[in-house]
């Protein structure tokens, strides 16, 4: 605003306005992604609290609900949960 009222270069002012709008949009997207991640973690936490703590056998429904993928390496494997949390397990 100070630049506009002092008859400064309007192109610079316009560019700054567009840069700030773009930055605001990026921050809003990041915030929405963070909120979605928090929601998924809360949902997973709620679901886990409802489950019995003793798992005696493989539960396909539980695995499909919680795990996105498992990647196996020579010396470890990683488990990526649907909440975007990743755990590495070493032999």
**What's CA 84's distance to the chain center, in Å?**
6
The Cα–Cα gap between 74 and 6 comes to 66
Residue spans of the domains in the chain: they are 1-50, 54-91
pLDDT at 12 over 70: yes
3-state SS, residue 77 = strand
At 17-76, the pLDDT tens digits run 899 999 999 999 999 989 988 888 888 788 777 777 777 888 888 888 888 999 999 899
CA dihedral 65, 68, 72, 73 (to 10 degrees): -140
Which strands make up the sheet holding 86-90, listed edge to edge? 67-72, 76-81, 86-90
């Amino acid at each position: 605003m100070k630049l506009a009222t002092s008859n400064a270069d309007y192109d610079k002012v316009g560019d700054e306005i567009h840069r700030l709008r773009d930055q605001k949009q990026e921050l809003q997207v990041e915030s929405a992604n963070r909120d979605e991640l928090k929601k998924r973690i809360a949902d997973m936490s709620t679901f886990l609290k409802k489950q019995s703590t003793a798992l005696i056998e493989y539960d396909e429904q539980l695995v499909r609900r919680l795990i996105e993928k498992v990647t196996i390496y020579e010396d470890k494997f990683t488990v990526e949960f649907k909440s975007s949390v990743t755990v590495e397990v070493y032999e």
